[in-house]
Structure 1
Amino acid sequence: MYSSSFRQTKTNPARQRKKNINVNGESRSQKDEKPPVPFQSEKKKEKRIAISKLLINISIGLCIFSLVWFFYALYMRSAMTKRAVTLHPSPRLLDAKSTSAAVSPERFWGSYRPHVYFGMKTRSPRSVVTGLMWMSQISHSDVNLRHTCEQGDGLSSYGWLIHDGVNFGMQQIRDTDFTLTTTFVKRMGGEHGGDWTWRITGKQNNTASQAPIISLMFYVASDTQGYLQAHIEDKTRLSHVTGTSEELGDFKITFNKPTSREAATNKYASYNYLQTLSPGLDQLTDIVKNSLSHRFVFNPSTAEKRSYIAVDTYTPPPQKDNPIQSDFVVHQVTVQVPFQIEVLFESGSFHDRPNQLKGSVLTEELTSLKLSYREKFEETFGLQAKGFTPAQVRFGKAALSNMLGGMGYFFGQSVVQSNYHDYPILYPEAALFTAVPSRSFFPRGFLWDEGFHQLLISKWDPQLTREAVAHWLDLMNVEGWIPREQILGDEALSKVPSEFVVQHTENANPPTFFLVLEKIREQLDKPTNAPQLQDTLPFLRRLYTRLQTWFDWYKTTQAGPLPNSYRWRGRDKDTNRFLNPKTLTSGLDDYPRASHPSEDERHVDLYCWMVLASRILSSMAQLLGEPHQEYEHTYQTLSNNSLLSKLHWSEQLHAFCDYGNHTQAVSLQQEKVFVPPGPMRQQLPVKRLVRSVRKAPKLQYVNALGYVSLFPFLLQVLTPDSQKLEYILKDIRDPARLWTPYGLRSLSRSDPMYMKRNTEHDAPYWRGAIWININYLAVRALHHYSRKQGPYQEKAADLYQELRTNVINNIYKQYQETGYIWEQYSDSTGRGKGSHPFTGWSALIVLIMAEEY
């Protein structure tokens, strides 16, 4: 029994379920209680601990990674933010002192203040500036002060008749009752850019009933650097100003008394002067206006006395934000026309001056300079040899002279914003020597305009072009971006609406400098231009690295949705406000693009600019002995007419077009405003015109026929035997589409957007008007295809002659009738429109006349 029981217990203890217990003296049997079971086995415990540790480690890792990523993102954002305002690291094209009197004395002084009717300064950041203001003494209440070029002044005409870009210039200004002629002549000598003299003459207009009395205000301002000292004689007459500055050393400005035009006899004049301080050059006009008084009397012995307005006293307000102020001296001469006045600037370092540049000496020098100018103009452009009349030749000279006289020297900082900035910041301080589109409306630098400007200037003075191009390319940041609109300095800023001040680093502008480089490259191939190689090749070599970066920037930042397609960034995003959102970056502003901006767009004009750029870069690389295969490959790819047609040819329109999210069923409608009942009606917002979309947009070609459609032709991307060229030539000559007796209109008359306003306040701009820069490209392209073997050679030759004649005749006629060259011309009447004088790219008429393409 024992052994059996022992074996059972031993072998299978789980079977022993009962035992006897005594409860209150009673014995009973009860199942054994199970031993306590652990919450988890050791193995599960270990697994859970391991998982916990793993999760903790992952969490720690993620935290560390997040922190690293956060700080890396901050670093990269900071780095990218800095890159936006970091200039290109390659050696500057121009040394900081390249425009100084020591390096470039002949160009140191000039009419580099295009925004004023007449003034001069040096090519230095803080130049002493000189200028002229005037007003007619008509009545006690009128203060019609002229200073900065303003269309609102209503002058009959003004502009340079002759200007050689370096030594002298002569300008005519037709005011209401009189005409002023402003002349300057420079003379080299000394160490600070030499001397110069102004001669101002006044004569009565035929329409004036009597000889007007006018006041001329000659002024000098130091612009925070150096000082000025006024020298007074006879209590009120400022005889001369002496001064000194870092760039000029000691100098003296003498104000001679007015004389009669016919003889050197002095005329009666009243004199006043003002000596004060100015917080900025942009405030000179206001200072003079605020100093005027009516208390003075003009009392010639030969006429009755009359009161006149003159500068008197002025107290500058306290300057808390800008404690640095400039000396400002004004010399006022009140005189009756006709008269002649001379102002002499003499450098203190010009010790061996043979005589003063005034009177007969000035007249002789001016006569010699005019003769040299006339000879050079004919040698360069040959207008007389081509049969143009003397009046037409004078018109050509005026167009060129206004371009040269519109060169300005600016210094300051652009205001920029990138995707990595929350707010606009300042670009590095920089100088810019550039031509300007319009002295009255656009007296500042524009990137795509300047390429057209330099096409003309390079024909006249290649060195001037090299300097201007170098100044622009030196503004490039490390990414390859150049601010497309240059607003440098207080004077430039004062002329620009606030919404156009900030420049965005993702926005481009057409790279028209490649047109200039193409011309330079072609000139080097001519045996007669061999001497230019000495200056040009080193220039191109210095330029090349920056051009590479610039081109790469376009390829990456302006890339389109498909391989080898391109899209302008920076279109207006407010689709509710505009009939068609503008594309300012393309240079064609309100030209119809896809109605609903999107990343799916492809822009044919930008594609063609990239063809041109890759072709010129490939050619330059070969000239300089640099690797050219990449640019040649890009050029061969993009210039393939099959690819161009695949991306941009619309079979429906038989024209090259943009592509995007588009509908033509749009119009401007009066905004619907809910008017609640009650007395609050007068506080309701003013109703606006807003865009109404009657049909949803879809991805399609933007079937707008106009300048954009012509770009494969304008930039000579099409092969001479392309059938697409036949369609383009037909569209060009069709009066219902692009042809007019005055030039090619910008948008077909049959287009729904033709001459439509873009907002209630925006008149049509590139929607039908005739623009001379595009007409120049069209005449140039017709000339090109007329000289290439192909089925359309004869047709191109006929159109070339006809279009060239139409454009020349109309611009000349408008100049004769209005006194101005204009920004654009009406396609229905040929009349000048827009800003004036517009002697930026409209001055390309000289190259059209000369047949220089």
Structure 2
Amino acid sequence: MVRNRKSGNAQPKPANNNESRDSSSGRSVSTQGNNDYSWLSGVLRFTTVWKSRLGFMSLLVAIYVGALGYLETRVNTPFDDKNKVVQETGLAIPERYWGSYRPNVYFGMKTREPQSPVFGMMWYNVGLRSQKEIRHWCDQGDNLPTYGWLRHDGVSFGEQLISDPPHTIMTSFIKTMGGEHGGHWTARINVTAKNSKKSNLMLVWYAALDESLYPVDPEEIPESRLWMEDGGLQGFTPELLNFRINFTVLTGKVLNSAYSEAHAPGLQLLKETYYSLLRERKHPTFGRVAFLGPDHQLHDKEKNINFLPIQMLIETPFVMDLAYTTEDYPAPPLQGKEYTKALEEKKKGFDEEFEKKFGLSEKGYPEDDIAIARAAMSNMLGGVGYFYGSGRVQSPYTREPVPYWRAPLYTAVPSRSFFPRGFLWDEGFHGLLIGRWSPDIQMDIAAHWMDLINVEGWIPREQILGAEALARVPKEFVVQNNAAANPPMLLIQLARLVKTRPHLFEPGMPHRATLGRMFTRLQAWYNWFQTTQKGEEPTAYRWRGREDDGMQLNPKSLSSGLDDYPRASHPSDIERHVDLRCWMYAAADSLATIARAIKKDPSKFEATKEQLGDEDLLNELHWSTATQTYADYGMHTDGVRFVRTMPKHPGEPAKLVRGVTVPPQPKLVTSAFGYISLFPMLLRVLTPESENLGKILENLDKPGLLWSPFGLRSLSKSSPLYMKRNTEHDPPYWRGQIWININYLALSSLKYYANAPGPHMDRARELHSRLKNNVVRNILSEYRRTGYLWEQYSGEDGRGSGCKPFSGWTALVTLIMAEEY
């Protein structure tokens, strides 16, 4: 109780144990209740604090889980799914609806639709033993003396030669536009034997449906179907409606014919399914032969007929027309003499157009050389495919690989036999040639690639879409990691198209609108490089993805495109890669060019170009005053060699691993003089007046370094790793062989410096002339000798090596001959 201290008569009550003094107010406060309930108030205070803490922790966990989920899904989230670059495809572009869009097979046709039926050809010699050698997929193991397109315009027709002794097979097709479903086409198969002798061959034509694209729900029965009727192959799909293929034999005989209606587990197993349908029967002339027959048709009605092969035992010389028609376009298909006449007109028109665009006859090349140049470009166009599916990707935030979104890809491929799928930096080089022939096709291809960019600004460097493509890829290369880049050559190629064909991008032109839709994606791709591939030093860049497994003499940098080219021996974060820095200079320059063309602000890109073009900064990071060369930087030693380890357990094989005899140190990798050292010149980072440009040109034609009579080697003969294996099982790849894409860049830059006023004009001009002659002469010579363009060429004797045919960037020989850079 509180006393009124102003009352003179009041006396303070003696304090007891239940009273305390509030010294600040003079008040006495009772504590009886505190003694009774103090434990409860303590619990309440404790609970309130921990509720707050637990709530905050729960919030943090929720934010973390949400952020992790967000980061997990970024790798397979499209950049902008509502505003795609490709706005017209399929029947919206009828002239490119049908095509030879199956580059992985020797001959096949399909549409640019995900659920297109596919048509194709197989063949083999008659006999039980030879049926195991069925030709279907383009395969190096078939050891054909040559095959490839002699002429192909990318749109309306193509003519191909296949040599499989003793037979020569000519395949061709012509499209007839009209109707609402892509019009008609006719394919001709012409088989002859050596010395025009009569011989026999088993020929198979088939139709198949990709069941992997059908609805998963069994209640949703796919409408597409195939059947035989009145001697013709018939089918129906929702896109094409009813269609039919008629077979007309013009020359020769069909000694026996049969067909089967079957179910194939997938397009990747058509040959195996066909083989399983064969049954041995006795033929009066050929003895025991395996035939198809009605008794081997599909009996399991629960399975759909998705594969219909038609087998023909033929006698040569043999010519057959296969005419595809639809019910909505009543015009008769081209056949017989009309087809022959139309094909000759197509060939003549193609040759005239080729000369108009490349001028090789005017430049003095003989017809034999021009024919090879035509074939090179035709194989590039004939290697354009249409793929659909989803790849497998992974990021640091996903425990396991996840599927990318399903998407189409219209693209050229590097090699029909070995790489029948899309590769990002290859496509930039492909586009240089395709864009010269048809900007429409190239812009369509580039648009499809740009629609594969994800929300991070990343594009998977290797596109493995569909069952057939997946079946050709080793398991270890299937998953694409979002830390891995690939040189932005496609961006550079687009800018070159803008520079060389500016009228195509004027206001109101279709390609300008397409480029405008691409622009935000190109920026995102460029920004992804700038944020993910930066080095530790200002203006330095580093390819991610190098891993030291202890087995490689020099760990690969697959993302650079140069695979086993020697870098710093021990991967680390301090690395600086001169080629990537130069790619970023060229990317900034290219984006500035594109921005100006579509009236966007180029200043940001111009500023980066100016900074990366500063030769003093470049030299500070990459120039060796000791060797007078440009080089990478990192933890490096040349003291590496293979050491054979003893097996730990009985029965295990001994392994070759890397042994280090001299510890690595941070330094420039000057011992790896080669393509990397040329990049400041290759991508025109150096000014025409540059003293260091003069040093590069001075070294360029030294035979002991990169120069050879066949082109520039990828690695100097003086390098410790010149033509050395990288592992026990990996032969050298970019360690001395001649690659035509880099030789093209070298010739392009030499031509540029030869025409740019400066002290090195004459030297650049002379080197350009000599290098061009070396490269062209060797490619043409090897094509005549082997029947193929090759992936790479030997720096010792010029012989083709790697895979064949490689009608990807090796086909740039056509542009080199024309001096179209």
Normalised TM-score (structure 2):
0.91
2:193 corresponds to 1:204: yes
Which amino acid is 1:545 matched to?
A: T
What is the aligned counterpart of 1:83 among 74, 89, 100?
74
CA 1:294–1:140: 2 relative to 1, 3 Å: farther
Quote the residue 2:308 is aligned against. Answer: 329
Quote the residue 1:557 is aligned against. Answer: 532
Give the Cα separation in 1 of the matches to 2:75 and 2:299: 38
CA 1:501–1:530: 2 relative to 1, 3 Å: closer
Between stretches 64-73 and 74-83, larger displacement belongs to 64-73
Quote the residue 1:409 is aligned against. Answer: 386
* 2:306 alignment partner, SS class: strand
Is the contact between residue 260 and residue 309 of structure 2 (CA under 8 Å) also seen in structure 1?
Answer: yes
Give the Cα separation in 1 of the matches to 2:520 and 2:81: 7
Is the contact between residue 681 and residue 749 of structure 2 (CA under 8 Å) also seen in structure 1?
Answer: yes
Is the contact between residue 97 and residue 111 of structure 2 (CA under 8 Å) also seen in structure 1?
Answer: yes
2:575 corresponds to 1:601: yes
CA 1:68–1:79: 2 relative to 1, 3 Å: same
How far residue 308 of structure 1 moved from its aligned partner, in angstroms, is 3.0
What is the aligned counterpart of 1:309 among 266, 270, 290?
290
Give the Cα separation in 1 of the matches to 2:299 and 2:138: 26
What is the aligned counterpart of 1:587 among 561, 575, 581?
561
How far residue 91 of structure 1 moved from its aligned partner, in angstroms, is 5.0
Quote the residue 2:367 is aligned against. Answer: 390
CA deviation map 1:815-834 (0-9, x unaligned): 00000000000110100001
How far residue 333 of structure 1 moved from its aligned partner, in angstroms, is 1.1
Give the Cα separation in 1 of the matches to 2:772 and 2:416: 27
Give the Cα separation in 2 of the matches to 1:507 and 1:61: 43
CA deviation map 1:47-106 (0-9, x unaligned): x9999999887765554433222221111010111221110127534456x2222x1111
Quote the residue 2:227 is aligned against. Answer: 230
Quote the residue 2:778 is aligned against. Answer: 810
Give the Cα separation in 1 of the matches to 2:287 and 2:506: 63
Is the contact between residue 429 and residue 809 of structure 2 (CA under 8 Å) also seen in structure 1?
Answer: yes
How far residue 325 of structure 1 moved from its aligned partner, in angstroms, is 4.6
Which amino acid is 1:221 matched to?
A: A
CA 1:756–1:791: 2 relative to 1, 3 Å: same
2:273 corresponds to 1:287: yes
Give the Cα separation in 2 of the matches to 1:530 and 1:93: 19
How far residue 740 of structure 1 moved from its aligned partner, in angstroms, is 0.2
What is the aligned counterpart of 2:807 among 809, 814, 839?
839
Give the Cα separation in 2 of the matches to 1:315 and 1:662: 65
Quote the residue 1:247 is aligned against. Answer: 239
What is the aligned counterpart of 1:508 among 482, 485, 498?
485
Give the Cα separation in 1 of the matches to 2:150 and 2:104: 17
How far residue 378 of structure 1 moved from its aligned partner, in angstroms, is 0.3
Give the Cα separation in 1 of the matches to 2:569 and 2:654: 23
CA 1:516–1:71: 2 relative to 1, 3 Å: same
How far residue 518 of structure 1 moved from its aligned partner, in angstroms, is 2.2
CA 1:329–1:801: 2 relative to 1, 3 Å: same
The answer for unaligned runs of 5 or more in structure 2 is: 1-16, 25-30, 212-221
Give the Cα separation in 2 of the matches to 1:614 and 1:356: 51
Q: Percent identity?
A: 44
Quote the residue 1:696 is aligned against. Answer: 663
Quote the RMSD (CA, aligned, Å).
2.6
Quote the residue 2:514 is aligned against. Answer: 539
Give the Cα separation in 1 of the matches to 2:591 and 2:607: 11
Give the Cα separation in 2 of the matches to 1:377 and 1:95: 28
2:762 corresponds to 1:765: no
* 2:369 alignment partner, SS class: helix
Is the contact between residue 228 and residue 241 of structure 1 (CA under 8 Å) also seen in structure 2?
Answer: no
Give the Cα separation in 1 of the matches to 2:62 and 2:396: 18
What is the aligned counterpart of 2:348 among 368, 371, 374?
371
What is the aligned counterpart of 2:159 among 163, 170, 176?
170
Is the contact between residue 524 and residue 533 of structure 1 (CA under 8 Å) also seen in structure 2?
Answer: no
Quote the residue 1:24 is aligned against. Answer: none
* 1:541 alignment partner, SS class: helix
What is the aligned counterpart of 1:297 among 277, 283, 294?
283
What is the aligned counterpart of 1:99 among 76, 89, 97?
89
How far residue 571 of structure 1 moved from its aligned partner, in angstroms, is 1.3
How far residue 538 of structure 1 moved from its aligned partner, in angstroms, is 1.6
2:548 corresponds to 1:573: yes
How far residue 324 of structure 1 moved from its aligned partner, in angstroms, is 7.0
Give the Cα separation in 2 of the matches to 1:363 and 1:153: 30
Is the contact between residue 280 and residue 326 of structure 1 (CA under 8 Å) also seen in structure 2?
Answer: no
Quote the residue 2:721 is aligned against. Answer: 753
Which amino acid is 1:68 matched to?
A: L
Is the contact between residue 278 and residue 325 of structure 1 (CA under 8 Å) also seen in structure 2?
Answer: no
CA 1:58–1:229: 2 relative to 1, 3 Å: closer
2:256 corresponds to 1:270: yes
CA 1:230–1:746: 2 relative to 1, 3 Å: same
Give the Cα separation in 1 of the matches to 2:604 and 2:46: 51
CA 1:66–1:167: 2 relative to 1, 3 Å: same
Aligned ranges 1:48-197 → 2 under 5 Å: 61-89=52-80, 91-95=82-86, 98-101=88-91, 103-138=92-127, 140=129, 142-197=131-186
Which amino acid is 1:213 matched to?
A: N
* 1:257 alignment partner, SS class: strand
What is the aligned counterpart of 1:221 among 185, 203, 208?
208
How far residue 625 of structure 1 moved from its aligned partner, in angstroms, is 2.2
Give the Cα separation in 2 of the matches to 1:51 and 1:729: 84
Quote the residue 1:15 is aligned against. Answer: none
How far residue 223 of structure 1 moved from its aligned partner, in angstroms, is 2.4
Quote the residue 2:451 is aligned against. Answer: 474
CA 1:53–1:640: 2 relative to 1, 3 Å: farther
CA 1:688–1:325: 2 relative to 1, 3 Å: farther
2:254 corresponds to 1:257: no
Quote the residue 1:12 is aligned against. Answer: none
Which amino acid is 1:100 matched to?
A: G
* 2:169 alignment partner, SS class: strand
Give the Cα separation in 2 of the matches to 1:257 and 1:57: 91
The answer for unaligned runs of 5 or more in structure 1 is: 1-35, 234-238, 261-266, 300-304, 676-680
How far residue 383 of structure 1 moved from its aligned partner, in angstroms, is 0.5
Quote the residue 1:21 is aligned against. Answer: none
How far residue 143 of structure 1 moved from its aligned partner, in angstroms, is 2.4
Is the contact between residue 279 and residue 326 of structure 1 (CA under 8 Å) also seen in structure 2?
Answer: no
Give the Cα separation in 2 of the matches to 1:230 and 1:744: 56
Which amino acid is 2:318 matched to?
A: F
CA 1:775–1:42: 2 relative to 1, 3 Å: farther
Is the contact between residue 290 and residue 314 of structure 1 (CA under 8 Å) also seen in structure 2?
Answer: no
* Higher-Rg member (1/2): 1
How far residue 241 of structure 1 moved from its aligned partner, in angstroms, is 1.4
Quote the residue 1:661 is aligned against. Answer: 635
Is the contact between residue 85 and residue 514 of structure 2 (CA under 8 Å) also seen in structure 1?
Answer: no
How far residue 630 of structure 1 moved from its aligned partner, in angstroms, is 1.4
Is the contact between residue 495 and residue 594 of structure 2 (CA under 8 Å) also seen in structure 1?
Answer: no
Is the contact between residue 602 and residue 660 of structure 1 (CA under 8 Å) also seen in structure 2?
Answer: yes
Equivalent pairs counted in the alignment come to 779
2:696 corresponds to 1:728: yes
* 1:259 alignment partner, SS class: strand
Quote the residue 2:9 is aligned against. Answer: none
Give the Cα separation in 1 of the matches to 2:73 and 2:254: 62
How far residue 377 of structure 1 moved from its aligned partner, in angstroms, is 0.2
Is the contact between residue 298 and residue 308 of structure 1 (CA under 8 Å) also seen in structure 2?
Answer: no
Give the Cα separation in 2 of the matches to 1:386 and 1:230: 54
CA deviation map 1:217-239 (0-9, x unaligned): 00011323544453366xxxxx2
Give the Cα separation in 1 of the matches to 2:600 and 2:381: 34
Give the Cα separation in 2 of the matches to 1:635 and 1:55: 61
CA 1:324–1:481: 2 relative to 1, 3 Å: farther
Give the Cα separation in 2 of the matches to 1:414 and 1:240: 37
How far residue 268 of structure 1 moved from its aligned partner, in angstroms, is 4.7
Quote the residue 1:432 is aligned against. Answer: 409
Which amino acid is 2:742 matched to?
A: I
2:811 corresponds to 1:852: no
Normalised TM-score (structure 1):
0.88
| Runs of at least 4 residues off by over 6 Å | 48-58, 315-319, 529-533
